[in-house]
Amino acid sequence: MKNVIITGASGGIGKDMALHFAENGWNVIATMLCLEHGKELQGRTNISCYLMDVTSTASITAAKKKILEDYRTIDVVINNAGVGYRSFVELAEDEEINKIVDVNWLGVVKVCRAFIPLFRSQQKGHFINISSIAGLVNLPLGSFYHATKHAVESFSECMAYELIDFNISVSTVQFGNTPSNFQKNVVKSERSSLLSYNVLMDRINLILKQKTAKNKDLKPLIVSELLKIAQSPAKNFKRVTIGFDANSLSLLRSKMGYRLFGRLIRQSVLK
């Protein structure tokens, strides 16, 4: 049986990922901030839960030590842990900026850094870094979330070049709004005295709510595609875009260029 580490596995897509991999014969090492939050995974066949705070090098090191006491090898690490922040730049708060950077960007860096030596010693391994369509295109009120996902994309591609000689490969996965706890937990900036800001926030919230509701079949597609990537990882760096929304936006952005794409966003969102 192959072994996969999944960060942020206590809920949302991470939990569904853990269950799907386990049902398909993988040993799942589900990491999370609080074991209490992962009750649905505890006691499940092929799933073991471990405490890990991806923002803390000490926590990652401690979790890695316990994991390697139970598992001799790791085949795949899926960096799934992430948070959302929807805010105007002017109204952004230091605490929320630091949090989203620490989890979405530096969390991926620290987990990869911790497990590269193991993959090198094994002479094999695959990192799957969960990005977002936000890592390929830019939309209103996403300054901080999009920036962290763009960072994950760049980091992953650079790292892949460094590791190819050691038979270690890297993939990123992008998708759009998916019905899960993630959307419910997105932090939003406070209402403003500026009418323009309030109108735009309401408009974006509504658009994303509607998109999320329409994508009810997206989550099963994501977890099944992730399993396929893990089962047959590409040797060279690969981006995998999943779902109609993500593929459409990615195609439009690449074909139209940033000026025409920007005009399209302004007409559809800022009207």
pLDDT at 179: 63
pLDDT at 215: 65
Q: How many domains does the chain have?
A: 1
Residues 97 and 30 sit within 8 Å (Cβ to Cβ): no
pLDDT one-digit tens code per residue, 158-183? 999 999 999 999 999 998 877 666 66
pLDDT one-digit tens code per residue, 57-103? 999 999 999 999 999 999 999 999 999 999 999 999 999 999 999 99
The catalytic position among 10, 48, 87, 180 is 10
Alpha-carbon distances, residue 20 vs 2, 46, 125, 247 (angstroms): 14, 11, 20, 23
Domain of residue 15: give its range: 3-269
pLDDT at 105: 97
User: Using alpha carbons only, what angle is made at residue 206 by residues 205 and 208, rounded to the nearest 5 degrees?
Assistant: 65
Q: Which helix (H) or strand (E) holds 246?
A: helix 244-269
pLDDT at 180: 66
At 200, which CATH number? 3.40.50.720
The catalytic position among 131, 169, 189, 250 is 131
> Whole-number mean pLDDT of the chain?
90
pLDDT at 183: 65
Q: What is the pLDDT along the chain (271 residues), one digit of tens a residue?
A: 999 999 999 999 999 999 999 999 999 999 999 999 889 999 899 999 999 999 999 999 999 999 999 999 999 999 999 999 999 999 999 999 999 999 999 999 999 999 999 999 999 999 999 998 878 888 888 899 999 999 999 999 999 999 999 999 999 999 887 766 666 678 887 787 888 888 888 888 887 777 777 667 788 999 999 999 999 999 999 999 998 777 877 787 777 877 887 787 777 776 6
Decide if 149 is catalytic: yes
Candidates 200, 153, 194, 178; CA nearest to 244 is: 178
pLDDT at 21: 98
Q: What is residue 270's DSSP assignment?
A: -
The catalytic position among 50, 64, 87, 145 is 145
Q: Is 176 helix (H, G, I), strand (E, B) or coil?
A: coil
Decide if 145 is catalytic: yes
Decide if 131 is catalytic: yes
The catalytic position among 15, 64, 110, 149 is 149
pLDDT at 245: 79
Number of H helices, E strands in the chain: 9, 9
Q: Tell me the whole-structure pTM to 2 decimals.
A: 0.91
d(CA 196, CA 114): 45
pLDDT at 181: 64
Packing angle between helix 143-163 and helix 107-122, nearest 10 degrees?
Answer: 20
Decide if 254 is catalytic: no
